[in-house]
Structure 1
Amino acid sequence: MEQKDKLDKSRVIFLVIGLSIIFLALILRIYYLQFIRGEELLSGALKQRGRQVLTSPMRGTIYDRKKRPLTNYEKVPTLLVPKKELLADKELFDMVKEGTSLTHREFTSRLNSNEGLLTLPMDEDFTLEGDRKNIFLIDIVNRYSKDNLLSHVIGYINKSDNRGESGIEKVFDEFLNIQGLDSFIVEYDKSRQIILGGSYLVNHANEPNNPSGVQLTIDKEIQELVEEIMDRRGHKGSVIVAEVETGDILAMVSRPNFDQDRIEDQLKDENMALFNRAIQVTYPPGSIFKIVVLLTALEEEPAAIKEEYYCKGFEEINGIITKCNGYHGNISLEEGFAESCNSVFIQLTKELGPKKVIRMARKLGLEERVNIGLLGEKPGNLPKDNELLGAAVGNVALGQGKIEVTPLQITRLMMTVVNKGIYKPLAIIRGITNQEGQLLKEYNREDEGRIISEEASLEILKMLRQVVLSGTGKNMDLEDLGGAGGKTGSAEGVLRGQEVIHGWFSGYFPHNKPKYVITVAIEDAESGSETAAPIFEEIAKAIVEIDY
């Protein structure tokens, strides 16, 4: 009897264990089907009985410094219409053709596709007239704005696999490439007719605290106004706006712009629209490099500075004549800097020796990448060894020849001077966020550090102020803003095989308590004072209007 009880107990235990294993297997199977393969199975089912149209991008949002979205915020009215019904109804066809935002070629291409249900972007004021039960007008959220705001920083994706191809999209692809966003389902019956009442929205909520977004230091409002100014003026080049106190980059604009949704159109563009000219193109800095010459003298050899120089309108070095922008006669160093006198700085560079000047340029970071987290940044180029001999002294004095820098490097130089000799790391990435824009992890920055003495910086700031008051930047009217300081530059360069002049202006405002540094670099310009400086002035005035 006792043995039989033990046998019954064993059977019960085995039965419970067996049922538990079966139950656990069912739970695991359900979990696998729902959470692991859910999206795949839904997609497969829809292929059999309907169509899924994503109403929001399958990418996390990129935010500005104030948590304003820079992606995923523009809604486009979109018409879902069966192609057969569209082609069979002339009134409907004419209404849709008139109301779509597609070009004639794009509209025709959609009609010739194999899609039974067409997805057509419409004009903002489009309304669907009449009783159209099988046709749907829904809002689809675009990944990018119609103006392609901040395109060179944000980058773009490969639509075939939803992967980031450039910019922030590529750098943070593992966080931004999220799955299961909102979609609109259109169901069909067995004869492929749309089922009335069988269409509905599906909302997929991601875990709210999962990292799925990126916050930048960009100020959307400042970025918009700088882009508007550059577009209106029609120049090729770039602009960087940085905050003096923090090192945050508030705007980074490169022109020409490109369409983030039509990358294939840009691949053979000779204007290099896909290049971020703020970080991926180097230029000779021209007279902005005179800041480096001055710092070399102030920091390393103050005795080389004369009380007065003499400009005869040109300088001759080893038989090579370099002209000045005028005949200045007797002129002080401060006046020579304000007037951008080539003779003064060639004479000073001869006294210092070009090797010392280049050593200072390296100390200021003009040969290395700034490393703000964007891909493709180019380092600067500085002459070495034999490239510093003979007539090369003229190129070193004037920021020409083998000397090439990015606008971002010039911004760092100006920031160091304005911060009284302290290197304050520039940044464009604030960190990783959740889907609500809450910051989860800050992006690492380099440490601050003194590069040049406060005394030398203050002396440079005085001279930068004189450029705007009485020198090559005197046509700017910024005194109502608290004044400004800066340096123009006009550099000879080669663009697509043609010799051109690149125009620079890098400066700060207000003068007494600098808040912003702005660098403007314009390709194929008349000069820095005639092309770049007016852009600096307009941007500064526009920023003040929204900042105060």
Structure 2
Amino acid sequence: MRLIRNKRITYGWLILTVLIAILTMRLAWVQLVMKHQRVPGSRHTMVEASLIQRERGIVLDSGRGHFTDRNGKPLTGNLIWTAVLFPAGEKELKGAHHQVAKLARILGTDKDQLLETWGKLKEPQLWHGADSRIPRSLSKQQIEQIRELELPKLKVLPYEQRYGNRLSGMQWLGFVSGQRKESLFFQDYPEISGTSGLEKTMDSLIRGEGPTIVYFPVNSTNEVIQDMKPMVKAPDNRYYPLRVSTTIDIDIQRGIEAITEKAGMREGAVVVLDARNADIVAMVSRPFYNPEQIHPKDGQWENRGLKAATPGSVFKLVTAAAILENGLSSPNEHFHCDGEFGKFGLSCWKKGGHGTIDLREGFAESCNVVFATLAERLTPQQMTSAASALGFGQTVGWQSQGFLGLRSFAPLDHEEKGTVFSGSVDASDAGVRVQTGIGQRDAAVSPLQAANAVVTLLHGGVKTKPRIMKQIRYANGQLLQDTTPLSERPLGNGISRETSSILLEWMEDVVQEGTGSSLKNRKWTLAGKSGTAQVKVKGRARNNQWFVGYGPVEKPRYAVAVLVENRSTNSSNQATEIFGQVSDFLASVEAGSGSA
């Protein structure tokens, strides 16, 4: 019996020893191996996850890539200093009554409101005031005053504000969803993704390697442990996030925004292209939007520079090009306009008519009778071919197949093709062609297309592809990818160099003696084409007002398209005036840079 008992004891010790060895090996495995493994569904290791359970973190930087203008000036990423409130009990706040009152004065808020907000906190929160969701930037003086208060539940931290809390017409830049970073970091950082504009089209390339977070150790009651230093966690990668250089000139962009604001322009767009290569230098869309505070129902985030609208007489560029290319008229052919076309209920914009005029004069005066007569001569194919050669009825923005591994890459988000003839109409009907030939009915053109058509003419009929993205660089400045300006001469039924030259001369006539004569005394000699389109807005008759053109005539530097939408039918052409102001501004910019 004693032998059996001894054997049992020996076996027991043996089993215990084996269990201890297994447990020791398991602990070693966790410490040496599993601590580096990521928690399923998380970007954190097991050790990091355990730390998060007893720490509270504030996201200071999303880690997302940034955009710059063509001169390297930042379009996103503005470092500010802001206050962070940590949860505090009602008793604690009452005990610091005088300091909280001083803090309220420093922050420019109501003391009772501050106490109410602070007292309800369950998590740390970046201070953004009661009337905003955007963290408030602190001045140097405010920072010093706050630190002097020595409030234990208040910190001042740096924070990356992606856009800045301001209205702008930069809808091409877009905005991101999930960018609200004032909340606590409990598990994983909320997914941030581009929702519109370049933020959307570049999303897969600029997401980065993760956020920068500052962690504060807390005790079991969620209070910050003051004698323990906070820890900052940030990605350590010299290549990411990427930096995207655009073709935009932010100074020109903001200058034109100011022009439209002062002019009282409510709806529409201004597009400025570099006449040398069709690069997008500025694209202003109205109404303005704030990318930090998006209200989807308002539609302010839509880029009207890319949306197709009824072009009115701007479309007469197409009709004139089709007539000249097909030899259906000559610049010296004469027409008689008495104010009425006599068919399809069409009349000229000038009461009593223009009398007897030739084709060149008809273009300068934008005579509807002349162009209705010409449109009747054209076949639908002749009209659509000329429109296509100028870039109408299609997207014109720079695109690439296989760019950095992407199957199809188009930086311009939601660019509309526009239309010449609707698929539901019979384009062989003369009435349809006549109305389309003067830019009414189903004709639709975007401001980008209109400006690009001018660049195409300046290039002798070679169709250009506007860029908005110039290059992509790694975080260390090393070049990742350049983009090359694209252009093509359409095969077959394009627009010849001769026709392009004639149309450019006629656009000069528009300013010198036609519908754009108010532009004669600007800083540059200008050329262009005006347009007024009749539209219906909520059942009311309204006008789209256009002016597209270029300058200076002697050495074209910029092509500009201005669209002012939803104007009163008896109002003057605001687009022409804004075109003149924009041209003067561009002339001043060029003179200042020594390029004029």
Task: Name the TM-score, length of structure 2 as normaliser.
Answer: 0.78
Q: Deviations over 1:321-363 (max 9, x none)?
A: 3233242112222222222111221122234455522331133
Separation of aligned partners in 2, 1:437 and 1:473:
47
Residue 489 in structure 1 maps to residue 539 in structure 2: no
Separation of aligned partners in 2, 1:199 and 1:535:
57
Q: Deviations over 1:413-470 (max 9, x none)?
A: 1111122221121111223321245431124664432542111111111111121222
Quick check: 71-80 or 392-401, which moved more?
71-80
Separation of aligned partners in 2, 1:495 and 1:101:
43
Q: Is the 8 A contact 2:80 2:137 kept in 1?
A: no
CA spacing shift, 1:206–1:523, aligned 2, 3 Å: farther
Separation of aligned partners in 2, 1:367 and 1:359:
10
Aligned residues: 519
Q: Deviations over 1:294-341 (max 9, x none)?
A: 1112211154554322111121114x2323324211222222222211
Equivalent residue in structure 2 for 1:180, among 210, 213, 221: 210
Stretches of structure 1 lacking an aligned partner (at least 5 in a row): 1-21
Partner of 1:458: 501
Aligned residue runs from structure 1 range 110-189, under 5 A: 110-111=117-118, 114-120=121-127, 121-122=135-136, 124-125=138-139, 126-127=142-143, 128-129=145-146, 130-134=148-152, 135-149=154-168, 151-159=170-178, 160-189=190-219
Separation of aligned partners in 1, 2:459 and 2:389:
16
Equivalent residue in structure 1 for 2:78, among 65, 73, 91: 73
Partner of 2:545: 503
CA spacing shift, 1:407–1:77, aligned 2, 3 Å: same
Aligned residue runs from structure 1 range 285-364, under 5 A: 285-301=311-327, 303=329, 305-318=331-344, 320-326=345-351, 327-353=353-379, 355-364=381-390
CA spacing shift, 1:213–1:105, aligned 2, 3 Å: farther
One-letter amino acid matched to 2:481? K
Partner of 2:518: 475
Partner of 2:577: 534
Tell me how far 1:70 sits from its aligned partner: 1.0
Q: Deviations over 1:196-230 (max 9, x none)?
A: 35344626254223462322211111112122222
Separation of aligned partners in 2, 1:427 and 1:106:
49
CA spacing shift, 1:477–1:183, aligned 2, 3 Å: farther
Q: Is the 8 A contact 2:563 2:575 kept in 1?
A: yes
Separation of aligned partners in 2, 1:507 and 1:99:
52
Identity %: 25
Aligned residue runs from structure 1 range 237-276, under 5 A: 237-263=268-294, 266-269=295-298, 272-276=299-303
Tell me the SS of whatever aligns to 1:196. coil
Quick check: 434-443 or 58-67, which moved more?
434-443
Tell me the SS of whatever aligns to 1:194. coil
Tell me the SS of whatever aligns to 2:455. helix
Tell me how far 1:258 sits from its aligned partner: 2.2
Equivalent residue in structure 2 for 1:282, among 304, 308, 313: 308
Tell me the SS of whatever aligns to 2:430. coil
One-letter amino acid matched to 2:446? T
Separation of aligned partners in 1, 2:227 and 2:428:
79
Tell me the SS of whatever aligns to 2:347. strand
Partner of 1:13: none
Separation of aligned partners in 1, 2:122 and 2:28:
43
Tell me the SS of whatever aligns to 1:71. coil
CA spacing shift, 1:433–1:399, aligned 2, 3 Å: same
Partner of 1:7: none
Aligned residue runs from structure 1 range 64-103, under 5 A: 64-84=69-89, 85-86=92-93, 89-100=96-107
Q: Is the 8 A contact 1:485 1:507 kept in 2?
A: yes
Separation of aligned partners in 1, 2:31 and 2:223:
36
